[in-house]
């Protein structure tokens, strides 16, 4: 009995997914939980494991096709199906033998026997056959099918040069232009077109020399920027899936929450010295740097432990759901397709060391910018930090990331003249902007949380021993 493979649900907001690449060809043996395909979803590309062991009997949805979740995309058959396949034509002989006397002629028997013979010969030399457009039976090697799918070639148009007319990989290569013979993932091919990179100039580092999106981006990063397009040539650009989902979620958040924003200017002078002192030691231990966001995430997590009302969540029609975790999400802007804003989550940020958080954050940001974040790495957040300091922004009103209750906006960290003990001194200052849902938490508890967060950053050495 065949096991259906459907478009999986990989996130709470996922409504559809795109098959990016099949990692197995039709007729291939696959083990349970072995990577079967990659799916391009709202926030990146994810490997999907096989739901069962057996033979990949049929691929229903081809790479580059977008379908709703739970749509049938393939079928996995029992392992015994491949072994039983050559025996199927033998059933034709008794039918033909009985049909001949009934018709009063031996012509039918002679016509059926060669057909059955050809079928048996082809079935023993191929793992699978399909009917072509002209009704003839097609037999092709798995490598030939995989190569044809990768370059978008209709295998039914080819003549096989293998045993018993079987289509082999060389037949596919001989029928295609040189650029189309190159093994390249669908995502990488699209990126190459968008960045104007010639596929023939790329060297693949993937399995079997396959060109991946990282290979394309590596070449694109070293190219000169393309000239600006004249305004008259620019039309209305369709929204990417990530941009569309982000827009819908942010609009829903702005309409559904009772948002209030508090602003606090914190003195980061000691935090700046603290970070400068730690970074060389982190580098010696293998962590390239201590990002400001890791430092702020640690302080926010500790403040959440003291002010758990800020981490509670509003549940429509039910009330408030408390949060026992201190998982802190970090907003990361993604400029490559699919562009948008993703939020990887630092789990248990209150109990982990600063170096562990810094290492984790650097890895998550790298994954986010290359579209490799998994749904698990973006789930479970109790609080979010979004940092616009690199753009010289001081304060702003960030939109809450549902279903969370609060989000912290971090402005630029810069030197200012500040009055300290009656004297004007240069100090390193930063504006913190806390947006919160007033349905869940009142102004005073929210202000107390923000004050505690600022206090931890103004006295950062407490972050090491807690």
Number of domains composing the chain: 3
- Of the residues 107, 366, 415, 438, only one is catalytic, namely 438
Neighbouring C-alpha atoms within 13 Å toward the C-beta of 174? 10
Is 164 within the bounds of a domain?
no
Find all residues with CB under 8 Å of 349, minimum gap 6, and list them: 297, 298, 300, 301, 326, 327, 328, 357
Do residues 205 and 278 both lie within one domain? no
Strands (E) in 50-190, as ranges, are: 54-59, 66-68, 72-77, 129-131, 137-139
Residues composing the chain: 466
R_g of the chain computed on alpha carbons: 30
How many other CB atoms are there within 10 angstroms of residue 152's CB atom?
A: 13
Domain end marker among 34, 63, 78: 78
pTM over 0.75: no
9: helix, coil or strand?
A: coil
What angle, 0 to 180 degrees and rounded to 10, lies between the N-to-C axes of helices 354-369 and 292-306?
A: 120
Helix (H) / strand (E) element for 396: namely none
Is 310 within the bounds of a domain?
yes
| Whether residue 438 lies in the annotated active site | yes
Q: What is the pLDDT of residue 107?
A: 37
Closest CA to 346 of 385, 312, 309: 385
Do residues 66 and 204 both lie within one domain? no
Do residues 211 and 72 both lie within one domain? no
CATH number at residue 200: 4.10.320.10
227's tokens: 């000239």
Alpha-carbon distance of 443 to 448, in angstroms, equals: 9
Do residues 208 and 276 both lie within one domain? no
CATH number at residue 28: 2.40.50.100
Helix (H) / strand (E) element for 424: namely strand 423-437
Question: Is the Cβ–Cβ distance between 24 and 30 less than 8 Å?
Answer: yes
Q: Give the C-alpha distances (Å, rounded to integers) separating 222 from 182, 209, 237, 334.
A: 22, 21, 26, 19
Closest CA to 400 of 178, 250, 234, 209: 250
Q: What is the pLDDT of residue 308?
A: 93
Alpha-carbon distance of 250 to 326, in angstroms, equals: 23
Is 11 within the bounds of a domain?
yes
Cα dihedral value 46, 49, 50, 52, nearest 10: -150
Is 237 within the bounds of a domain?
no
Q: What is the pLDDT of residue 264?
A: 97
- Of the residues 33, 154, 366, 442, only one is catalytic, namely 442
Alpha-carbon distance of 126 to 453, in angstroms, equals: 66
Do residues 194 and 309 both lie within one domain? no
Q: Give the C-alpha distances (Å, rounded to integers) separating 212 from 13, 184, 204, 318.
A: 27, 6, 7, 47
Is 458 within the bounds of a domain?
yes
Do residues 202 and 257 both lie within one domain? no
Do residues 207 and 322 both lie within one domain? no
Is 150 within the bounds of a domain?
no
Question: Is the Cβ–Cβ distance between 303 and 461 less than 8 Å?
Answer: no
Do residues 197 and 311 both lie within one domain? no
Alpha-helical segments (H) within 126-225: 142-151, 169-174, 186-195, 213-220
Q: What is the pLDDT of residue 228?
A: 53
Q: What is the pLDDT of residue 91?
A: 38
| Whether residue 415 lies in the annotated active site | no
Is 116 within the bounds of a domain?
no
Do residues 205 and 346 both lie within one domain? no
Closest CA to 75 of 51, 48, 40, 39: 51
Helix (H) / strand (E) element for 265: namely strand 259-267
Domain of residue 265: give its range: 243-463
Alpha-carbon distance of 407 to 329, in angstroms, equals: 9
- Residue 196, phi-psi category: left (phi > 0), alpha (psi -120 to 50), beta (remainder): left
Is 308 within the bounds of a domain?
yes
Alpha-carbon distance of 350 to 357, in angstroms, equals: 10
pLDDT < 70 regions, the chain = 11-14, 41-45, 81-138, 142-143, 146-147, 149-152, 173, 175-183, 186-187, 207-208, 223-235, 237-243, 245, 335-339, 465-466
Alpha-carbon distance of 406 to 448, in angstroms, equals: 13
In sign, the C-alpha dihedral spanning 286, 289, 291, 294 is positive
């Amino acid at each position: 009995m065949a096991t259906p493979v459907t478009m999986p649900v990989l996130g709470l907001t996922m409504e559809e997914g795109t098959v990016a690449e099949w990692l197995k060809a039709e007729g291939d043996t696959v083990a349970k939980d072995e990577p079967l395909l990659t799916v391009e979803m709202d926030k990146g590309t994810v490997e999907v494991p096989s739901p069962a062991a057996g033979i990949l009997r049929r691929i229903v949805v081809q790479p580059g096709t977008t379908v709703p979740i739970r749509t049938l995309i393939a079928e996995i058959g029992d392992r015994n199906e491949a072994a039983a396949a050559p025996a199927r034509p033998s059933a034709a002989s008794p039918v033909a033998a009985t049909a001949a006397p009934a018709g009063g002629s031996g012509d039918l028997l002679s016509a059926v026997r060669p057909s059955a013979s050809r079928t048996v010969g082809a079935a023993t030399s191929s793992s699978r056959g399909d009917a072509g457009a002209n009704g003839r039976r097609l037999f092709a090697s798995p490598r030939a099918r995989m190569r044809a799918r990768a370059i978008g070639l209709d295998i039914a148009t080819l003549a096989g040069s293998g045993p018993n007319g079987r289509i082999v990989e060389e037949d596919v290569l001989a029928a295609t232009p040189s650029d189309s013979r190159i093994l390249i993932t669908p995502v990488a091919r699209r990126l190459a077109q968008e960045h104007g990179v010639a596929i023939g100039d790329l060297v693949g580092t993937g399995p079997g020399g396959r060109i991946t999106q990282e290979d394309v981006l590596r070449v694109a990063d070293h190219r000169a920027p393309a000239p600006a397009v004249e305004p008259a040539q620019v039309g209305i650009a369709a929204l990417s899936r990530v941009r569309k989902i982000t827009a819908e979620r942010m609009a829903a958040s702005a309409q559904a929450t009772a948002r209030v924003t508090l602003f606090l200017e914190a003195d980061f002078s000691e935090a700046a010295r603290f970070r400068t002192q730690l970074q060389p030691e982190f580098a010696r231990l293998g962590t390239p740097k201590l990002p400001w966001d890791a430092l702020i995430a640690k302080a926010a997590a500790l403040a959440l432990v003291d002010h758990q009302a800020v981490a509670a969540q509003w549940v429509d029609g039910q009330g408030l759901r408390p949060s026992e975790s201190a998982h802190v999400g970090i907003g990361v802007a993604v400029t490559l397709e699919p562009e948008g804003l993703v939020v990887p989550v630092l789990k248990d940020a209150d109990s982990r060391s600063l170096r562990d958080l810094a290492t984790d954050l650097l890895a998550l940001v790298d994954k986010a910018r290359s579209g490799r974040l998994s749904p698990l790495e973006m789930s479970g957040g109790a609080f979010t930090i979004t940092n616009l300091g690199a753009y010289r922004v001081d304060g702003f009103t960030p939109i809450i990331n549902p279903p969370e209750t609060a989000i912290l906006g971090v402005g630029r960290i810069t030197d200012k003249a500040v009055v300290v003990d009656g004297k004007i001194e240069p100090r390193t200052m930063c504006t913190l902007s806390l947006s919160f849902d007033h349905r869940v938490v009142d102004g005073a508890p929210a202000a107390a949380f923000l004050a505690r967060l600022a206090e931890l950053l103004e006295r950062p050495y407490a972050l090491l021993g807690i």
